Structure 1
Amino acid sequence: MDLGAYRPVLANRDTRSALVLGFLIRVPMWAGAVILTLHVVSSLGRSYGEAGLVTAASTVAVAVSGPWRGRLLDRIGLRRTVGPSLVVQAVCWSIAPWVGYAPLIGFAALAGLFVVPTFSILRQVIIRSVPTEQRRTALSLDSSATELSFMAGPAIGVWLATSWDTGWALLVCELTSVAAGFVLWLVNPRLTSDTDAVGEQVALDGVGEAGRAEAVAGAVEPDDAPPARAIRGFITVPVAAVYLAAACSTLVLSGTDVSIVAALRSFQATGSIGWVLALWGAGSLVGGLLYGAWHRSFSVFWLLGGLAATTAPVALAVGVPSFAVLITVSGFLCAPTITATVEQLSRQVPERFRGEMMGWHGSAMTAGSAVGAPVAGFAIDHGGWPWGFVVVSALGVVIAVAGMVGSRASRGARAGAGSEAPDEGRVGTPTRGGSADSEHGASAANIGH
């Protein structure tokens, strides 16, 4: 482990700017999410269940928009993608705080469809701006900055909602997010290092869908392996497996979130929820920083298995002190697992598809969160709070083991086919890192959510 690995990453101006801008964008985003719930409950006089429906409408819309917005980033660039989003966001959140419950759901959903894909944009900038060997370290810093913003944002949101009228608090937070998005539009950071991406895409379009699929598959395989068949566009079986791992990781995390609340209520320590969640986030922050300084990467399935395995023992807690220790330990692999999914995808998917890749990544994580909370809730209702941790942990272990076995079998099958099959259907010289690696060579390949 070498903490000095962070020095060259932080010395990179583009990476440093993306990290700072990402933190400033995400803090009002997390704060606005909390204020929206409090606004529905306190100002509109609705139940928490009804507040959850507003959040669900926004979440589903964001999940649906992820691949679409990412595809736009790849095809038309940052400014033409973000510009209309800023207009829709400004209009929606200027009106939404002053309307009734039903219109609020509509405005929240519309804003979700046109949300500025900040996670995708900033992670693409970070990936593009550092050499391949610094990719894990840079993405770990981004995950750690996200944890910091998540720890700060909700606290600020609660303070604003209790100090001001919730309508004004919601307006200020959401328009602050719009202003941060405008800064992103103004800066217009470069997302890819491949200046020939457009011409390459035109060439691929000319060979038809079948040829395009073979070209995409071949571009992400090592030189000694036959190309994998794409399921759709750039999505091969290995890529789909990483998306499944990303979804399962947030399934475990969202289930853990619900189970924490249930456990502390059972211990009659509801007032401890805030600082216990902060400890969980701090564990993730430390784990992310350590993973970024580690000398090598790990398979996302090993990390997912570790995340699930360290979550299960929390069910053995007998009081708040032991619960706090176990939940902190369970947080260590949160950020590394998410980082590994992004890093692994960035190596498997050609650079020209990176916006859409990150969009699908966000949708996968959103889907996992949507499944994890009700699964844990069902387990808690029927067996008590410990079963919330046990069930999501078991699902995580099952997916992780299946992924390990499947990856090993896939590598064996490709190696066997490579010794017999002719090398057909490739475009150029494929590398593990895609077009970014081939452009900059072995010494410094730019990585370019």
Structure 2
Amino acid sequence: MAFSGYAVLWADRRVRALFVAAFFARIPALAAPLVFTLYVVEDLDGTYAQAGIIAAATTVGAAIGSPWRGRLIDRLGMRRAILPSIVAVAILYPVATLSTYVWLIPLSLLMGRFLIPVFSIVRLSLSVMVEESRRRTAFSADSIIAEASFIIGPAAGVLLVTQAGADVALYAIGGCEVLAGLIFWRLNPPTRSPGGSTPPAEPGHVVTRTPFMSVPVVFLFLISGGTMAALIGTDLGIIAELRELDEVGAIGFTYALWGLSSLVGGLIYGSLSRSIRPTYLLLALGLTTIPVGLGGEVWSLSLWVIPTGFLCAPTMTAAAEWIAKLVPEERRGEAMGWQGTAFTIGAATSSPVVGVAIDGVGAWGAFVVGGAIATGIALICWGGQLIPAYRPEHYASVNEISPVE
């Protein structure tokens, strides 16, 4: 392991500015779902089921919009691609505070579609700015920063709602997202290497697009969705388990250990000299998620989430690392967008299944179902990769990543 790679990254002014911008840009995005839930329940006198519909509408919009925005970045460059998102966010959030619940549903769909693509921008820019030998460290560092934003975002949203009201919180989130978009527009991080093979398209100019979809890339999208199934199972399972134990006040403590272990896992993975194949990481993540329900006390539950948390950031980092390796640079933004869609679909499809398990057998069912889905997907992808033509190395270009076999 070599932790000095993080110092080298931080010494690069462009990379440092990108990390700082990403940290602040993710905070309002992570606060928004909780604030919208409280807005529907408290200000609009709705139910949690109605709040769930709003969340689902945003999810569908994000799933549709991620590949589209990534394609725009590939074709037009970052500045021209992000401008519609900045304008849309500036309009939609203020309008949302004035709308009825019925109108909030299509507004949420549009918010998801025009969500500023922080994930795609950061990962795409890092794949260009950082040489391939340091890409694993760079993606791990971004995962660590995302974990830090996750710790702050929801807490900041709750504070805003309790101190100023949900409508003011929505104005603040919209304003912060616009500011984040403007910061990225000002930074204009590169999304194409100097002298890249396909420059951004000029008006009226037709560009022949290189295909990027292959079986190994589809496997990586499946792995990304499976990762979210394990995370959703752990997320909902923690809440349900602590409610059963009548220890809801300990949610923050257990979540903190879960997030901290993920942060440490990402830090260590980024310092490794060799890549671990995402299939193996997802298999380990699924297998460590299944037994978390054995924790019958706050302290034991908190200890059981440490191993699964430790594997979260490395699994997501490894998937992004291999996508950047297997996809041509001129299509990488769209591919990162499809990975974002895979994350979204994985979360959206696993949530109701995990919920049914909790209702049917109790909190432990969430961990079993989420872990089993992740394990099943890992085994399917592993079986597919046994076919020589579908091994990721078969598609990798020069300077191949050295996987752990």
TM superposition score category, shorter chain reference = over 0.9
Q: What are the within-5 Å matches in structure 2 for residues 27-426 of structure 1?
A: 27-198=27-198, 216=210, 233-411=211-389
Whole-angstrom CA distance in 2 between matches of 1:113 and 1:321:
41
Distance change (3 Å), C-alpha of 1:382 and 1:189: same
Query: CA shift at 1:122, angstroms?
Result: 1.3
Q: Which whole-Å deviations, capped at 9, do the CAs of 1:117-163 have from their partners, x for residues lacking one?
A: 11101111112111111000000000000000001100011011000
Question: Is the CA contact 1:29–1:174 (under 8 Å) kept in the aligned structure 2?
Answer: no
Question: What residue identity is the alignment partner of 2:267?
Answer: L
Whole-angstrom CA distance in 2 between matches of 1:191 and 1:329:
35
Question: What residue identity is the alignment partner of 1:235?
Answer: M
Q: Which residue number in structure 1 is paired with residue 397 of structure 2? A: 432
Question: Is the CA contact 2:225–2:343 (under 8 Å) kept in the aligned structure 1?
Answer: yes
Whole-angstrom CA distance in 2 between matches of 1:299 and 1:431:
13
Of structures 1 and 2, the larger Rg is shown by 1
State, as a whole percentage, how many aligned pairs show the same letter: 39
Question: Is the CA contact 1:259–1:377 (under 8 Å) kept in the aligned structure 2?
Answer: no
The 3-state SS of whatever aligns with 2:377 is helix
Distance change (3 Å), C-alpha of 1:7 and 1:49: same
Question: What residue identity is the alignment partner of 1:183?
Answer: I
Q: Which whole-Å deviations, capped at 9, do the CAs of 1:71-124 have from their partners, x for residues lacking one?
A: 111011111111122111101112111221111222221122122211101111
Q: Which residue number in structure 2 is paired with residue 22 of structure 1? A: 22
Query: CA shift at 1:275, angstroms?
Result: 2.2
The 3-state SS of whatever aligns with 2:273 is coil
Whole-angstrom CA distance in 2 between matches of 1:48 and 1:236:
40
Equivalent pairs, count: 399
Question: Is the CA contact 1:300–1:341 (under 8 Å) kept in the aligned structure 2?
Answer: yes
Q: Which residue number in structure 2 is paired with residue 221 of structure 1? A: none
RMSD: 2.3
Unaligned runs of 5+ in 1: 217-232, 419-429
Distance change (3 Å), C-alpha of 1:201 and 1:317: same
Question: What residue identity is the alignment partner of 1:48?
Answer: Y
Question: Is the CA contact 2:216–2:390 (under 8 Å) kept in the aligned structure 1?
Answer: no
Whole-angstrom CA distance in 2 between matches of 1:93 and 1:250:
27
The 3-state SS of whatever aligns with 2:310 is coil
Whole-angstrom CA distance in 2 between matches of 1:83 and 1:392:
37
Q: Which residue number in structure 2 is paired with residue 13 of structure 1? A: 13
Question: Is the CA contact 1:41–1:51 (under 8 Å) kept in the aligned structure 2?
Answer: yes
Q: TM-score, normalised by structure 2?
A: 0.93
Query: CA shift at 1:414, angstroms?
Result: 10
The 3-state SS of whatever aligns with 2:387 is helix
Whole-angstrom CA distance in 2 between matches of 1:124 and 1:377:
34
Question: What residue identity is the alignment partner of 2:105?
Answer: I
Question: What residue identity is the alignment partner of 2:283?
Answer: G
Query: CA shift at 1:341, angstroms?
Result: 0.6
Question: What residue identity is the alignment partner of 1:336?
Answer: P
Q: Which residue number in structure 2 is paired with residue 426 of structure 1? A: none
Query: CA shift at 1:297, angstroms?
Result: 0.7
Question: What residue identity is the alignment partner of 1:398?
Answer: G
Whole-angstrom CA distance in 1 between matches of 2:9 and 2:79:
26
The 3-state SS of whatever aligns with 2:190 is coil
Superposition misfits of 4+ residues, deviation over 4 angstroms:
199-202, 205-208, 411-415
Whole-angstrom CA distance in 1 between matches of 2:109 and 2:214:
31
Q: Which whole-Å deviations, capped at 9, do the CAs of 1:13-41 have from their partners, x for residues lacking one?
A: 22111111000100111122211111111
Whole-angstrom CA distance in 2 between matches of 1:282 and 1:75:
38
Whole-angstrom CA distance in 1 between matches of 2:333 and 2:221:
15
Distance change (3 Å), C-alpha of 1:197 and 1:45: same
Query: Larger deviation: 342-351 or 79-88?
Result: 79-88
Unaligned runs of 5+ in 2: none
Question: Is the CA contact 1:307–1:334 (under 8 Å) kept in the aligned structure 2?
Answer: yes
Question: What residue identity is the alignment partner of 1:331?
Answer: G
Whole-angstrom CA distance in 2 between matches of 1:321 and 1:413:
42
